[in-house]
Amino acid sequence: MGSEMELTFTEDLQLTEMMRLRVQSLQQRGQKRQDGERLLLPHEAVYRLDFTEQELTFSHWNVTLHGTGRFTVTGISQLWTPDLTNLMTRQLLEPIGQFWRNAGDPEDSPIKCLEADIQEFGERIAELAKVRKVMYFLFAYKEGAKKEKISCSLVFKKNE
């Protein structure tokens, strides 16, 4: 097996802002979302992974969460052109990655997650990397989790 490669999720500020403007625009005009459209919620942001290699095997997630809270990572199957298309619910991938630390958990305790889901999710990302240079994700912060207190990356093995 080849060497390892770690890819860090990076926030796509421009895309997040564009999605927030869509919500704001609908509210100002008193319009409703399209059937099946997925609007960005206030506690969500858009992140991306850029793949420099296409032949990858998923290894593991590297996630740190300082303090308590919960955050979820949802993959988006769409090759994004937000100026032309809105995000539709059917474009959200299953399963999602869920990570949390409860109040009362020691700060040095491992972060909790649904292990089978994050394993399957990581494998799906590696599969999509074979045909993608970039992939987009929704990060949702709940129960006190804040993006400043979270780091999240994926480790892959390069297929040689």
* Residues 11-30 pLDDT 10s: 999 999 999 999 999 999 99
44: pLDDT strictly greater than 90: yes
Question: 2 falls in which pLDDT band (50, 70, 90)?
Answer: low
Q: For the whole prediction, is pTM greater than 0.85?
A: yes
Structural domain total, the chain: 1
pLDDT at 85: 75
82: pLDDT strictly greater than 70: no
Radius of gyration of the chain measured on its C-alpha atoms: 17
Nearest to 133 by CA among 35, 43, 53: 53
**Contacts of residue 154, Cβ cutoff 8 Å, sequence gap at least 6:** 6, 7, 9, 49, 58, 59, 60, 61, 62, 122, 125
pLDDT at 160: 72
pLDDT at 36: 93
**Mean pLDDT confidence for 147-151:** 93
CA distances from 29 to 6, 17, 25 (A): 44, 18, 6
112: pLDDT strictly greater than 90: yes
CATH of the domain at 63: 2.60.120.390
**Mean pLDDT confidence for 92-99:** 95
Q: Domain range for residue 66?
A: 4-158
